[in-house]
Structure formats: structure tokens, C-alpha cells
Structure 1
């Protein structure tokens, strides 16, 4: 007899709220911390209603001190709790960078496995929502460089809830990046209750034979639009949603690239020393002799994310991705 799972139609931010609610209800060690996450429900309302339902001891408003409350969360994680910390915007995380890189990511190695930091750091990120300065950074590569902390980035509501639950249950710290452009841009069916999306596994969205297109976060929809347009011209694309930035799913990358022989990577982060470079290294190590053309990178630029009047010139577009696909096809 087939079991039918009930679903709800949710946006990404609603799926995140649902995932937090599920884990707060199921696991007494889970608690939430952050600025204005209690009474106000967070800057994007991702924790809306959770303090009223679970209480102030489980959903805690903190002072305006990222280093302070993230450091406190590390101590809690080392002593049996599973804190989920909200940083209002990724660009606000830098005062707490030392706590993450010096303590959270190293605690297991430092104590030879006697202690760990099972915690999640939620951080809205990315441009395209007309936010002020330091609100739109896409600096995920700062964190993928340090072993000991995982970095994930969903592009849709289903993955957002499943990855969040997996991150909360992970025995080590996880940076959970939430692309702001995706918060309310799409709705889809999300299972009720608990389920997980495995960290470290990408997802094939479209099957194709001519070009591999790899993206994550808000750039997945841009990649999909470009692939759809190229299909009209007889070019079929393998589109991969990377989902996990550290660890990277090298198997799904190698399998696709060895099939197509051509690759386009789409990210909104700065191109220099970025996650895209790790993908290129993976391709070089696993699939160099299969290449029919040099891989192309469509990215932001090596400048701070500009003010909102110029965001559209900074961000990768469907047109830029199409141009890159055409370049590798015609090489």
C-alpha cells in the first residue's frame, strides 16, 4: 500500500519557517537566536510566530552583537544544544567571522573529537532585492575555504526545508545561505512534517547532451531560463543545482561534464577565488580529457556589490549565460 505524504504550497521563506517549527517541536535541544527574530519574526519574517508558539527560552532575541551571540551559540552547541543562529544579512556576519573560523569550525579537531559544534548559521544573501550597501554580499567562498564547516544554499522551497532539517541534525556547524531573491519568488508543494535533503549532493534539474550548466541559489532560475531558450535553437543543457557548496558533489559534476564535454558555471559572487574555481578544479581533476571547449564562467565582477541602481548590471543575466553557452558550443 502506497503512503501518500501530505503537502503544503509554500514559498521558500515559509518552508524555512516550517522546517524550524518541525525541529523546535521534535528536538528539545534546538533553539533559535538572533536579532529581532522573536517578537518581530525576523527581518524577512522567517521566524514569524515561532516565539509565541515555543516560548522565549526557545526563540531568543539577542543584542546587536553578531560576535557575541554567535560565540554564545558555539558554547551552547558544545554543551548539548543545537542552536540555529540568524544573521540578518550575510554582509553582517564579518564581526563574527573570527568566532566561526577560529572556534566553531575547529572545535572537533581541537578537542580530538570530544566536542563538536552542531549548530546552524542562517544568512540571507545575494543581490537583486534593491537593498542598501553590505546587504547584498555573495561571499560564500570565505567560508568554503575552512574545513570543519559545511556550506549549503537551496534554490527552492522543497530543498530549503529539507536542507535546513539536515543542517540542524548535522554533527558539525553548517552555514545555511538563503538567497533573498528566492524567498517569495516561487511556490511549490512541500511535504508536511520531517524530511531531509542530503548535504553534499547536487540535483540534476534538466537532462541534456550538449552543455553542462552549473548554478546555485538565485542563479539557478537564470540558468534554467537560458537553457530553455537554447533548447529552442537545438542545444540541450544538463542543468545542475549544486545545492551544497562545501562539500561539493564532484560525482554529479564529473558525470555530466564527461557526457557533454562543455561547461558553463553561473554564480553571482566575485569571480576571483570563488566557488566556481573549486568546480573548475573538480572538472580538471576528474574530466580534463573529456573537454571539447574551455569552461566558461558567468559571474558578478571583482567590485563590491553596487548600489541598487546598478545591481542589474552587476548580476548575471539570461543573456550573459546564453552568450557563454554559445561560446562553448562554437569553440
Structure 2
């Protein structure tokens, strides 16, 4: 080996040892010198231990503007100086000085927030700009929540539909290659339509004979990629007809959340369930199934669900207390009176 070739080999090895992973060295074909060329950094994918922060519409808490608030913390009663005496028995919202937010439990802003918004779009960076103390709930369960108004570097869907609800991740590095997928398939069945067999086996039998009773069902789900793994949300309603006004009919309703594993036709029920609003996918396929219900956010880890000894308990975050209206409409129904 010539002296020049030896120097090229040594230089190349040194460059590979000290240069960032996003770059690689190649040998110049003309003179044998090592040349550094930029290489694309591999995707990080979805995090193994995510820190999810649910988001709430501003209008829902009493701020008369379009936009979203990111959950920060539950303010302990001993630190709640915003709602005192009689104010604690009512809902409300008050601004929180930035210098107080950290003491009330807000996460360190040195660790960025990454927001998943529109379907199949990558996460974009979000920066807290203002904090709010939000008092919500009923007499039986009323708490004060610390929420942050954020500036985001992408467009989010306006509040109004569950399928457009964004969710934030808190981590140092951008979760490249991790994408939020929204429900992309649905089917409904009327009185004479039978439930698909894979769903029917999870629905308890019930007497429902026409014309006194009608059974309606609906499911929607999210899948992605080449495998068939996905999550599905089912609602079944039995309408007991009594007169011509559907609002006078008694109903029996049930809702269930399922996961279907790749290359499987069977459905596995997920508890405590919740209303499906999406899933996170990366180069490994489905990673997390996302749902929410009555002020609680759930994230089911698909890798744990399909393990030989599956862990079925989801990661949960309490981000709000249900109001009286929420409790009234808590049960999902396909009754035409509740449309």
C-alpha cells in the first residue's frame, strides 16, 4: 500500500470516528483523499416512553377565541390562589403569570413540545406563550387545571370535531418518522343489517324483535401501512319504540374499543376504552392507539398489547373534569333523537 493510500485510510477512519452520524466519508476517486458528504439522519420514530400532553379547545374553558390549550398540570388546592371561597364552586378561567407557571407544575419549557395536528402530517414544534388557570367540573368533582396557550409552527384544524383534536408530545428531539393517523374507515348498520361476525362475538345477546325494537350499529377505525393492524370503535344501540317520537323511546347502548393485530381477523377489546381519535405510526408500524373520555386521555402501547404476556393498561392523563352537560351526554347513542 502506498503512503498516500495509507494516509487516506487513516484519515477516513478518523473522520468516521469523530464526525456526526448525519455525515459519512467517501474516498475521492481521483486522488484518494477522504471527502465528507452529508447523509440524511435516520428517523427517530415514535418514542418508547412518550410524555403525552392532551389539548383542549379554548372556547370549552371560556376563552372566546379559536385555538387550543395544552394541558400542563393539576393545580393542588393548597396552591390555588386563583379561585378562592365561593369562586371554587364555579367554573372559570384566569390568566397565570409566566413566572408562577413553573411553581404550579408546568413542565420545563427547555424541553420542546411537538404537536400532531392534521392527519398524516409530521409533528411540529410548539412554544408556550401564556398560561391559564381553568376551573371546571361539578360539585362532586371540580378541580383547577393549569393549561398553556401555544404558538405552533404548523396549521391545526379548528376545534369542533373529535377527529381533528391535536395531541402534544414533550421530548428533546423531534419525533421524525412518527405520524398521527386519523380514523379512515367506517360502516353503519340499520335494523335489518347484521353485525359483522368479528364484532358480534363481543356484543352480549339481547332480545330485540321488530317492530317494537330496532338495533342500530356503527363502527369506525384507523389502520395504516401494509399490515392490517389498527383500532376500531363500535357503538350499538337498541331502540325500544314507543309512539312516533324517537325522543320518547328507551334505548340500551354500548360502546367498545378494539385493537386488531397484524395478519389477524380477531378483535381484542381494550379497557377502559374511550372514544378513538387516532393512532401513531412509524417505520415499525402501529405504535400507540389514542382515545379520550370524560376528561381522561388514554394511550395504548401496541408493542405491549401484542407481547406474549400483553400489558393491557394504557398510559392515562387526567386533563379535565366533566361538566354536568358532559355527564348527561356521556353515553354514546345512535338514537335519532340524539343526533
Q: Could you say which TM-score interval applies, normalised by the shorter chain?
A: under 0.3
Larger Rg: 2
| Larger relative contact order, structure 1 or 2 (CA cutoff 8 Å, min sep 6) | 1
TM-score (norm. length: structure 2): 0.22
Structure with more of its chain in strand, by fraction: 2
Structure with more of its chain in helix, by fraction: 1
TM-score (norm. length: structure 1): 0.22
